[in-house]
Amino acid sequence: AQTVTQSQPEMSVQEAETVTLSCTYDTSENNYYLFWYKQPPSRQMILVIRQEAYKQQNATENRFSVNFQKAAKSFSLKISDSQLGDTAMYFCAFGKGGAQKLVFGQGTRLTINP
């Protein structure tokens, strides 16, 4: 079974700093997708970024980028120029190409301090 591990339960940085959230996963599959979802205090889950395993290029979305290391099974999220609105729980998720299941990590609670 696929597993997703987020080893940092909580992180805290100052506004405008850069922060990196870690995620590792375990799979024997070659075709899969990885995601980062954000859950602010409102509880609303929002997709931050998506990476397809067959793509070598790391995905980016404005201030958010990933470092996808397929061989190491690592998928970290970098937030540049962090803002107060980035304060949230962040979940890493894995989806296998053929199946339609998503497996989430335990989450990292990120606090951006003014």
Partner 1 sequence: EAQVTQNPRYLITVTGKKLTVTCSQNMNHEYMSWYRQDPGLGLRQIYYSMNVEVTDKGDVPEGYKVSRKEKRNFPLILESPSPNQTSLYFCASSLRGYTDTQYFGPGTRLTVL
* Residues at the contact surface with partner 1, assessed by CB under 8 A: 4, 6, 9, 33, 43-47, 50, 52, 91, 93, 95, 100-107
Per-residue tokens: 58: 């790391």
Q: Please report which helix (H) or strand (E) contains residue 39, including its range.
A: strand 32-39
Going by DSSP bridges, is the β-strand pair 10-14/108-113 parallel, antiparallel, or unpaired?
parallel
Nearer to partner 1, 1 or 114 (CB): 1
Name the maximum alpha-carbon separation found in the chain: 44
Least distance from C-beta 60 to partner 1, angstroms?
16
Nearer to partner 1, 88 or 95 (CB): 95
Least distance from C-beta 19 to partner 1, angstroms?
19
Strand partners, 3: 26
Nearer to partner 1, 28 or 100 (CB): 100
